[in-house]
Structure 1
Amino acid sequence: MFGIGGGELVFIMFIVLMLFGSDKVPEMARTMGKAMAQLKNATNDIKSEIQKGVEANGLDTKSLSELTGDINSHINKVKEDLMGDSVAQANKVKTDLLGDSVVQANKVKEDIEDITGPVKRQK
Structure 2
Amino acid sequence: MFGLGATELLIIAGVLVLLFGATKLPQMARSLGQSARILKAETRGLRNDGTAETPAVEGAQPVAAAQPVQAAQPVQDEKR
User: Could you state the TM-score of these two structures normalised by the residue count of structure 2?
Assistant: 0.55
Q: How many residues in Structure 1 have an aligned counterpart in Structure 2?
A: 55
Paired-residue identity, %: 31
Q: Hey, what does 1:23 align to over in structure 2?
A: 23
Report the Cα offset of residue 50 of structure 1: 1.7
| 2:61 counterpart residue number | none
Task: Say which one has the larger Rg.
Answer: 1
Aligned in 2, Cα 1:4/1:16: closer, same or farther, shift over 3 Å? Answer: farther
AA of the residue aligned to 1:29? A
Residue 34 of structure 1 corresponds to 34
Per-residue Cα deviation, 1:45-101 (whole angstroms, up to 9, x for no partner): 1111122135x54xxxxxxxxxxxxxxxxxxxxxxxxxxxxxxxxxxxxxxxxxxxx
Cα offset, 1:13, TM superposition: 2.1
The aligned counterpart of 2:77 is none
**What is the CA–CA distance in structure 1 between the aligned matches of 2:51 and 2:10, rounded to whole Å?**
41
Is 1:48 the equivalent of 2:56?
no
Instruction: Tell me: higher relative CO, structure 1 or 2? Use CA pairs within 8 A at least 6 residues apart.
Output: 2
Alignment deviations for residues 24-45 of structure 1 (CA, whole Å, 9 cap, x no partner):
1100010000000011011101
Any stretches of 5+ residues in structure 2 without a counterpart? 57-80
The alignment's TM-score, normalised by the length of structure 1, stands at: 0.38
Give the Cα separation in 2 of the matches to 1:4 and 1:34. 27
Letter in structure 1 aligned against 2:40: K
Q: Quickly say closer, same or farther: Cα 1:10–1:31, change in 2 above 3 A.
A: same
- Cα RMSD after superposing both structures: 2.1
Structure with the bigger percentage of helix: 1
